[in-house]
């Protein structure tokens, strides 16, 4: 029986730096195709920064043609203005994914940590280390936000496989 290959884009939302990671696989085995951080210039007008995120994300999606998308949900910010700004950027990200006709899954940081490390309260560094191990990236330098995005993509990949098994029962 042949397994379907999935190509998943994972996103760690923000507006100054947005982590993006794309993986491909068939449920159990995943390989990284691309990862980066979309960065916007702090002195730009906020709306222009949001537009820059939208345009960059569309280019990445058009280039790599993912079949699914996964975005990390907002958890907690001490600074209310930062939370509102990240929320607005997340809205732009979700709208861009929807416009590109991608099915979207959303995961909390706790779900990502649980899936990647087996422990929902794992430290950020533990998640990033496991992402490197799971994707064979030990020798590559990965920005934190890009590693987080790959973790979100892996969480979606494992969830797709789990859902497929459940529906076969």
In the DSSP assignment, the letter for residue 130 is H
Q: Residue 54, Cα to own-chain centre: how many angstroms?
A: 15
Let me know: does 94 contact 71? Beta carbons within 8 Å.
Answer: yes
Positive/negative CA dihedral, 156, 137, 62, 165: negative
Active-site positions?
A: 12, 72, 145
Closest CA to 161 of 11, 22, 26: 26
Q: Parallel, antiparallel, or unpaired for β 17-25 and 30-39?
A: antiparallel
Closest CA to 9 of 20, 1, 18, 19: 20
């Amino acid at each position: 029986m042949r397994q379907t290959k999935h190509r998943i884009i994972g996103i760690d939302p923000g507006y100054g730096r947005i982590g993006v990671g794309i993986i491909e696989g068939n449920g159990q085995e995943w390989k990284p195709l691309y990862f980066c951080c979309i960065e916007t210039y702090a002195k730009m007008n906020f709306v222009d920064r949001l537009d820059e995120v939208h345009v960059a994300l569309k280019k990445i999606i058009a280039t790599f043609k993912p079949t699914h998308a996964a975005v990390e949900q907002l958890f907690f910010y001490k600074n209310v203005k930062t939370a509102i700004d990240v929320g607005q950027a997340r809205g732009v990200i979700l709208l861009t994914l929807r416009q590109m006709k991608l099915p979207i899954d959303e995961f909390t940081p706790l779900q990502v940590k649980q899936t990647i490390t087996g422990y929902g309260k794992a430290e950020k560094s533990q998640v990033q280390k496991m992402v490197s191990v799971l994707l064979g990236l030990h020798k590559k330098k990965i920005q934190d936000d890009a590693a987080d995005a790959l973790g979100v993509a892996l969480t979606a990949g494992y969830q797709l496989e789990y859902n497929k098994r459940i529906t076969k029962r």
